[in-house]
Chains A and B, each alone.
Chain A
């Protein structure tokens, strides 16, 4: 079936570096995307979202980029901190699926100081 996937299962960076986490999606009907952060023992935490009529959205230290041509989504974290260490998931919402989200497998971000 169609699903969201991630390019790398793990990413290790140094504190202060910028991090880029990538995600590929295959459902062309998806028109809403969310990035979540999940820390050990906790539920996913909403980071930022983007709709298909946009190609970029910025939040506090985070930027999401959407390239619909190649069905690619990325999350950029500026000045990565140890507290950013977690598993990051991208999720897509096909327009016909209500609020159901299809999640990728996740990328584990490790930040060393």
Chain B
């Protein structure tokens, strides 16, 4: 059974640009959550999608957005990139039929903003 797949693995962008990251969840999983990981702040929840609807949102500015498609694949977008957006962006998938289910992470996308 394939795990969570995130693309691309590495990305370098310039301040002011925008970026789109992709996540394919484990087959059969309908919930996709996104996290930002930095050395200073650790792992922080961005948002969660379930059945194409945003079910929960963390405390990040509106420059961070996401969406989920009918096949459960998800994308997140960051507009007007800032140097502080440099981080490892992780996607986690779970069955999501109820709360409190195992969440499995992908390898992440390492975003560097220069």
Binding site for B on A (CB under 8 A): 31-32, 34, 36, 41-46, 49, 51, 89, 91, 93, 95, 97-106
Chain B residues, Cβ within 8 Å of A93: 99-100
Q: Could you say which residues of chain B place their CB within 8 Å of the CB of A97? A: 56, 99
Chain B residue contacts of A101, Cβ below 8 A? 33, 35, 43, 45, 92, 103
**Which listed residue, B44, B94, B105, touches A99 by the CB 8 Å rule?**
B94
Contact with A along B7-47 (1 / 0, CB 8 A): 00000000000000000000000010101000000111100
Known: A45-B105, A98-B55, A98-B56. A103 touches B100 (CB 8 A): no
Please give 7 more A-B residue pairs, beta carbons under 8 A apart, in addition to A43-B6, A45-B105, A99-B96: A31-B100, A46-B105, A99-B56, A99-B92, A100-B56, A102-B45, A103-B35
Tell me which residues across on chain B come within 8 A of A31, comparing CB atoms. Answer: 100
Tell me if B's interface is mostly helix, strand, loop or mixed.
strand
Cβ B42 vs Cβ A43 within 8 A: no
Interface residues on B, range: 20 to 34
Interchain residue pairs with CB less than 8 A apart (7): A43-B108, A46-B102, A51-B100, A99-B56, A99-B99, A101-B103, A102-B45
